[in-house]
Structure formats: structure tokens, C-alpha cells
């Protein structure tokens, strides 16, 4: 598995985590507020992880480009 495949696998897992957490948040909003809030928090954290991953990839691409010049 190369680096791009690994990144795509991480993205796929983040997507699944985010979708599952969103479903939990919606399904429990009227029955268990704490669980619903936890689901919402997980969706936020998944999005933050995705953003950090994208930023890291951009940084590595920039460094690689500078190194090759």
C-alpha cells in the first residue's frame, strides 16, 4: 500500500466515523442528550483531523517541491 492509498484509507475511515457519529447524534437528540452531544463532538473532531491531515499533506508537498528545486 503506497502513501496515497494510506491517505485515502484514513479519509474513508474518517468519513465513516463522521457519518456514524452524525447518525448517533440525530437518533439520540430527544432521548439522551449526553450521547447526542458526544456524537456531535465526534463529528467535529473528525472534521478537525481531516483538516489537519490536508494541511500536513500540503506542507509535505511544499517541502518536497522546495527540495527538488
Q: Which domain holds residue 35?
A: 3-68
> 38 Cβ partners below 8 Å, 6+ apart?
24, 25
**CA 64 remoteness from chain centre:** 24
43 and 25 in contact (C-beta within 8 Å)? yes
- Number of domains observed in the structure of the chain: 1
> 9 Cβ partners below 8 Å, 6+ apart?
1
pLDDT in tens, the chain (69 residues): 899 999 999 999 999 999 999 999 999 999 999 999 999 999 999 999 999 999 999 999 999 999 988
38 and 23 in contact (C-beta within 8 Å)? no
Amino acid at each position: 500500500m503506497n502513501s496515497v492509498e494510506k491517505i485515502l484509507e484514513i479519509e474513508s475511515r474518517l468519513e465513516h466515523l463522521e457519518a456514524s457519529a452524525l447518525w448517533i447524534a440525530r437518533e439520540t437528540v430527544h432521548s439522551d442528550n449526553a450521547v447526542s452531544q458526544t456524537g456531535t463532538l465526534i463529528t467535529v473532531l473528525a472534521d478537525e483531523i481531516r483538516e489537519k491531515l490536508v494541511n500536513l499533506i500540503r506542507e509535505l508537498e511544499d517541502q518536497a517541491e522546495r527540495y527538488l528545486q
